[in-house]
Amino acid sequence: MREYKENKELRILSAIGIILVAAGHLGYNLFDIGGLFPYYSFHVFIFLFVSGYFYKEESKDHIISYLLGKCLTLLLPYFIWNLIYGILATLLHRVGFTIGQDISFYTLFLAPFDGGHQFMYQFPSWFVPVLFMIEAVNVCMRKVLSLLRIRNEWLIFAGYLVLGILTVWLAIGGHVWGLYKIPGRILFMMPGFQMGYLYREKLEKYDTLPDGPYLLLVMGIQLLITVLCGGLAFSAVWVSSFANGPVIPYLTVITGIAFWLRISRIIKDIPYLSGKLVTIGRNTYAVMMHHIFAFFLVKAFFYLIHILTPLCAEFDTEMFLSEINFIYLPGGTEASKWIYLLAGIGIPLLIANLQKAAGKLCQKRD
pLDDT tens by residue, 304-345: 999 999 999 999 999 999 999 999 999 899 999 999 999 999
Q: How far is CA 282 from CA 25, 57, 285, 353, in A?
A: 21, 23, 8, 11
Task: Check the CA dihedral 166-172-174-177 and report its sign.
Answer: positive
* Closest by Cα among 99, 89, 116 to 235: 116
Question: Mean pLDDT across the stretch 347-359?
Answer: 94
Mapped onto helix, strand or coil, the DSSP state of residue 122 is coil
List, as one string, the DSSP characters of 157-223.
HHHHHHHHHHHHHHHHTT---GGGHHHHHHHHHHHHHHHHHHIIIIIGGG----HHHHHHHHHHHHH
Model confidence pLDDT, tens digit, residues 251-296: 999 999 999 999 999 999 999 999 999 999 999 999 999 999 999 9
DSSP 8-class letter at 311: S
What pLDDT score was predicted for residue 366?
A: 62
Q: How far is CA 53 from CA 14, 160, 265, in A?
A: 12, 16, 15
What pLDDT score was predicted for residue 364?
A: 76
Model confidence pLDDT, tens digit, residues 104-123: 999 999 999 999 999 999 99
Model confidence pLDDT, tens digit, residues 35-55: 999 999 999 999 999 999 999
Is the pLDDT at 365 greater than 80? The verdict is no
The strand ranges marked E within the chain are none
Task: Give bridge partners of residue 240 from the DSSP assignment.
Answer: 235
Q: In angstroms, rounded to a whole number, what is the distance separating the alpha carbons of residues 75 and 61? A: 22
Model confidence pLDDT, tens digit, residues 63-86: 999 999 999 999 999 999 999 999
Model confidence pLDDT, tens digit, residues 162-175: 999 999 999 999 99
What pLDDT score was predicted for residue 3?
A: 46
What pLDDT score was predicted for residue 1?
A: 39
Model confidence pLDDT, tens digit, residues 4-39: 578 999 999 999 999 999 999 999 999 999 999 999
Q: In angstroms, rounded to a whole number, what is the distance separating the alpha carbons of residues 215 and 38? A: 16
Q: How far is CA 359 from CA 19, 280, 363, in A?
A: 26, 19, 6
CA 130 distance to own-chain centroid: 11
Mapped onto helix, strand or coil, the DSSP state of residue 310 is coil
Q: In angstroms, rounded to a whole number, what is the distance separating the alpha carbons of residues 166 and 157? A: 14
Model confidence pLDDT, tens digit, residues 214-233: 999 999 999 999 999 988 99
What value does the mean pLDDT of the chain take?
A: 95
Is the pLDDT at 180 greater than 90? The verdict is no
What pLDDT score was predicted for residue 358?
A: 86
